[in-house]
């Protein structure tokens, strides 16, 4: 569904479904921040309380973990947003509604 890192293809490479209608906007980024924050905050607290590492080591290790998890989650969550939109026929997915012009 994605070409490159976050760019959604115009059409599906397998079935030809048009995907250019998607509107994920900031949803995947917000959800990524929410998930990563809720995972990393307790882990930082546990690591600090149990092992008492030097603050610079703690910051370095968890910074790398936070960035890695964010980069791994972001395209997957964007694909999930587009998939939900497709499943619910939102934002141009599905059959166009035939309307008659107002007279």
- Return the pLDDT at 33: 97
How distant, in Å, are the alpha carbons of 41, 43, 61, 89, 101 from that of 48?
11, 8, 12, 47, 66
| pLDDT tens for each residue of 25-42 | 899 999 999 999 999 999
17 falls in which pLDDT band (50, 70, 90)?
Answer: confident
- Return the pLDDT at 63: 97
Mean pLDDT over each residue of the chain, to the nearest integer: 88
């Amino acid at each position: 569904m994605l070409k490159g890192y976050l760019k959604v293809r115009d059409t599906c490479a397998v079935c030809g479904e048009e995907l250019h209608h998607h509107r994920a906007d900031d949803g995947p980024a917000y959800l990524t921040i929410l998930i990563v924050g809720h995972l990393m905050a307790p882990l930082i607290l546990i690591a600090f309380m149990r092992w008492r590492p030097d603050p610079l080591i703690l910051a370095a290790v968890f910074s790398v973990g936070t960035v890695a998890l964010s980069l791994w989650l972001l395209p997957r969550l964007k694909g999930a947003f587009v998939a939900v939109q497709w499943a619910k026929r939102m934002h141009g997915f599905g059959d166009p509604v035939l309307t008659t012009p107002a007279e």
